């Protein structure tokens, strides 16, 4: 996570590309969320902050979903094809962040289920944005972006299903998302570099 975040940040500066910056924030947030969820954050990163450790397992994974939605919206630019889809993505991103932070400050009954449903809707929107650009866009390399997000979208369904009471706790409900994230990060980083190179060749005289 640290390595990909550093490479994406360096690429953002080198290419002057906001997509790399958004990806760096997304990877960092996703990594911190998994550190909180798996307990390594409390063990190694914020050992002296007990109150933060209590809320981080809820706040960080939820915010990483919102940041992931922000990243995909920036890369796919759904407003070019559907203003409704673009507004749904923006509204869901803001609502998910607001509900997550509000519950961290003032815990409410049922908020975890609401956030889980918003995360599920975010995954649906991510799939819809990628599918829209794939079908109607003129970017031949969007398939790489779709391939990169596929592991996380697939494996995130298992812990969400467990949270909603649809399946019992198992290996994939606990470790599926870290596995999906590990598969996703290098693929997306490669895809962004391919897109950046393509844009460079298009603007060269």
Question: pLDDT tens-digit profile of 48-86?
Answer: 888 888 888 888 888 988 998 998 888 888 888 889 999
Residues in the chain: 205
Mean pLDDT taken over the chain:
84
**pLDDT at residue 23 tops 80:** yes
Choose between 87 and 127: higher pLDDT.
87
Give the whole-number percent of the chain exceeding pLDDT 70.
91
Q: Which two tokens stand for residue 145?
A: 């972006």
What's the Cα-to-Cα distance from 151 to each of 13, 43, 44, 144, 156, rounded to whole Å? 28, 27, 27, 12, 8
Tokens coding 31: 């990594």
Please, are residues 63 and 116 in contact by the beta-carbon 8 Å criterion? no
Q: List, in sequence order, the alpha helices (H) in the chain.
A: 2-15, 18-38, 40, 50-76, 83-105, 111-136, 142-163, 171-203
Q: What is the pLDDT of residues 109-126, one digit of tens each?
A: 777 788 888 988 998 998
pLDDT of 22 > 60? The answer is yes
């Amino acid at each position: 996570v640290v390595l990909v975040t550093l490479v994406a940040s360096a690429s953002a500066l080198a290419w002057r590309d906001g997509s790399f910056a958004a990806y760096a924030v997304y990877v960092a947030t996703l990594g911190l969320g998994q550190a909180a969820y798996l307990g390594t954050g409390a063990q190694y990163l914020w050992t002296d902050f007990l109150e933060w450790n209590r809320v981080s397992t809820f706040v960080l994974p939820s915010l990483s979903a919102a940041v992931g939605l922000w990243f995909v919206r920036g890369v796919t630019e759904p407003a070019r094809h559907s203003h409704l889809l673009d507004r749904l993505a923006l509204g869901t991103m803001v609502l998910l962040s607001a509900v997550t932070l509000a519950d961290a400050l003032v815990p409410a009954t049922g908020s975890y289920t609401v956030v889980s449903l918003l995360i599920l809707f975010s995954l649906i929107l991510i799939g819809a944005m990628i599918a829209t650009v794939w079908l109607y866009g003129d970017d031949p390399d969007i398939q790489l972006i779709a391939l990169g997000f596929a592991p996380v979208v697939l494996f995130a369904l298992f812990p969400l299903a467990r949270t909603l009471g649809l399946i019992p706790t198992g290996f994939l409900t606990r470790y599926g998302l870290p596995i999906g994230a590990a598969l996703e990060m290098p693929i997306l980083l490669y895809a962004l570099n391919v897109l950046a190179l393509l844009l460079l060749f298009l603007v060269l005289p």
